[in-house]
Amino acid sequence: MTNKRNYCALLYLLCMFICSVDSAAYDVHWLGGSTTIDRDFPSSKQTVDIYCYSGTSKSLLTLWQTVKFHVKVKNNEFSQYVASTPEEVYKDYTEDSYGWSSVISPFQRKAQKSLSLELFTPTCMAINTKQRYSIELQVIRVDIWRVMLMFLGIALIYSAKTLSGNPLFFYLCGILVGVFASFMVLVYYVSKLLPKKTLTYGILIGGWTVGVYVFQQIWDNVRVIISSYQTYVFWYTLVASFISFLVCYRIGPPRNERSKNLVMWTLQAVGVLMIFFSSHYQEASATVIVMSLSVKYFPDWLLHKIQGFWHRRFPPKPRLLSSEEYYEQGARETKRALEDLRKHCASPDCAQWRIMLKLNDSKRFASFVEGNSHLSDDEILDYESYAFSLESARKPAANSTRNNNMEISDDDSSDDDEI
């Protein structure tokens, strides 16, 4: 019984020792907010530095937020290990240090100096290099590119019907498709020259890692070609664009309604994808998509019915006009009515001779139709005299009212003195 207890105690101490050694094998640095950490190598410490971002909670404030890890090192001679927990990062680090990763996965993901992180899940990273480096956690509260992507997707949803029938948009899309399609045709004919059996056997033996490696190498070669042979790339793009424009000009923009509908639905699908991938908060972006489509395809009859119910339930209060607004509105509407009358009298729909037979002064009617005033000089003078007499009559009345008030106030004061 005593031996059994001693064995259990020894096993417990051994487990504690292993756990303590494993936990002391790496240091975890939890970063929050914009932070920068510098490291000098070679270093005497035997532990592995693991940098972790704990994530954040979902809210509308994180709709356009972006978080990145930036690795600042002189060259690209470093290895990068990314996982969701420090234990997984340390496991990948040790496997790579012992050379096990070459057996498990010979084609690892290429190290990136700028790594975008998931907002709502923890992300940890470790760096293996013999040079000095620094780790920066960049938190962008409002990423302008995400904002532009979302609003561009919304604009694409609402303007898809207009763009589907726009000839300029048709030619631009045709040129872009022609350039990329010609490049794909060139890749297809180049692939004809490759040995099919050797390539097939390589993919079957290596699996998806070989395919990823080949795709990565092709992409790196394409970038090198674009940067090294810019002149040839420019002339190739120019010639392909010109040929694509000629083909689009020969075919012409779509005139069939069903063809326009297909283009419109395709553009709206692209807009939906742009909105969905513009934010890490995919529930909020999906809500924006639903709201945009609902407003776009909301029935007009239901909208008019809701507006009518709202006006009946909450009728707008009429605003009374001031004397200045009343005068301005009267002058404006009178001028507009006279212009409409002049246009009608000058139009072929009006029987001018019949109207002139009924008038006492036909010359005045003809002068009004030609653009002269509808009032004579005597009428204008009489109106001004009448208005002046009214203004003169108002002033004595106002002065008499003011004098009466003053007299009343004087009487009241004298009475108060007598009292």
pLDDT digits (tens, 9 = 90+) for 11-35: 545 554 444 444 447 788 888 777 7
Q: CB-based contacts of 110: which residues, under 8 Å, 6+ apart?
A: 216
Q: What is the enclosing helix (H) or strand (E) of 72? A: strand 66-72
Report the side by side order of strands in the sheet with 66-72.
35-39, 133-140, 66-72, 114-116
Q: Give the strand pairing for 48-53 and 26-31.
A: parallel
Q: Computed from CA positions of residues 201, 207, 213, 218, in that sequence, does the dihedral angle turn out positive or negative?
A: positive
Give, for 364, the enclosing helix (H) or strand (E).
Answer: helix 362-369
| pTM for the whole structure | 0.57
Q: How confident is the model at residue 290 (pLDDT cuts 50, 70, 90)?
A: very high
245-279, pLDDT tens digit by residue? 888 888 888 888 888 888 899 999 999 999 999 99
Please tell me which residue, 230 or 41, carries the higher pLDDT value: 230
What is the residue-averaged pLDDT of the chain?
A: 76
Q: What domains does the chain contain, in order, with CATH numbers?
A: 28-142 (2.60.120), 146-296 (no CATH), 342-393 (no CATH)
Share of the chain above pLDDT 70, in %: 73
